[in-house]
Amino acid sequence: MPNFLRAPTGAQITLVKIIVFALCLLPAANLALGWQHDALGANPIETITRASGEWTLRFLLITLTVTPLRRYTGLHWLLRLRRMLGLFAFAYAFGHLLTYIWLDQFFDWMAIALDILDRPFITVGFSAFVLLIPLAATSNSFAIRRLGGRRWQALHRSSYAIAVLGVVHFWWLVKADVFDPFIYALILAVLLGLRAWWRELERRRQLSTPPPAKHLKQPVIRIVPK
């Protein structure tokens, strides 16, 4: 593996971040240009809603993919991209919700509330967005210091549940043509299955480790992979 991939310099990582940032903006830019040039089909609002929702789910899955990539490639610097990818997932989720509230419902709060209560796929999608808010709000070094690493990790593990809700939201939305949500569900199952396997391996390792001698006062801290 080339050295610049194995141990990139600070400048190289900054360049990678800029490139990734630009790539993450491309779907939104494509939708904006399509809207400007009236190239989003017969129902542009539905096109924007569908695309922003799918990109939210894609960014959630990409964010969850960072840890397996880092673990199996040894490219530990990939973790420095995870926060940005997670924030883009939130940004596209916000755009998805805003499109529904503004362009679809025209800020009719009563109709929106009834939709959330009466239509299960909207209930699930709205729940996923609400769970995303504290993750986005704590995606900074200050929040990590305030919460402490253990509590911060526990909070951000809710991203697994959010991804599950996102897949369910998409599946219930399309109803009959479930090929796309099935692919997302399969990818998510692999990502969550890997984490479950790592947890089991860590449990076995800890069980196989002899208990500390009684004269040792420091407790053994169990580590669970994120």
Q: What is the mean pLDDT of residues 44-66?
A: 96
Three-class secondary structure of residue 213 per DSSP? coil
Q: Which of 4, 22, 20 is nearest to 12 (CA)?
A: 4
Domain boundaries, the chain: 3-204
What pLDDT is stored for residue 1 in this prediction? 64
**Residue 65: its pLDDT value, please?**
97
Q: What is the pTM of this model?
A: 0.89
**Does 18 have pLDDT greater than 70?**
yes
Largest distance between two CA atoms of the chain: 75
Hey, what are 179's tokens?
């090929």
CA angle, 133 then 134 then 135, to 5° = 90
pLDDT at residue 215, rounded to an integer: 55
Q: What pLDDT sits at residue 180? A: 94
**Residue 77 clears pLDDT 60, i.e. is over it:** yes
- Spatial contact of 163 and 60, defined as CB atoms under 8 Å apart: yes
- pLDDT the model gives residue 82: 94
Contacts of 133 (CB under 8 A, 6+ apart): 90
Indicate whether 44 pLDDT > 80: yes
- Eight-class DSSP state of 221: P
Q: Grade residue 177 by pLDDT with cuts at 50, 70 and 90.
A: confident
User: How many other CB atoms sit within 10 Å of the CB of residue 107?
Assistant: 8
At 7, the pLDDT band (50, 70, 90 cuts) reads: confident
CB environment 209-219: b (16+ within 10 A), e (fewer): eeeeeeeeeee
pLDDT at 159 over 60: yes
User: Per-residue pLDDT averaged across 92-106, rounded?
Assistant: 95
Name the nearest CA neighbour of 93 among 181, 28, 190: 28
Which of 85, 50, 54 shows the shortest CA–CA distance to 183?
Answer: 54
Mean residue pLDDT across the chain: 90
Between helix 79-98 and helix 10-36 the angle, nearest 10°, is 20
pLDDT score, position 149: 85
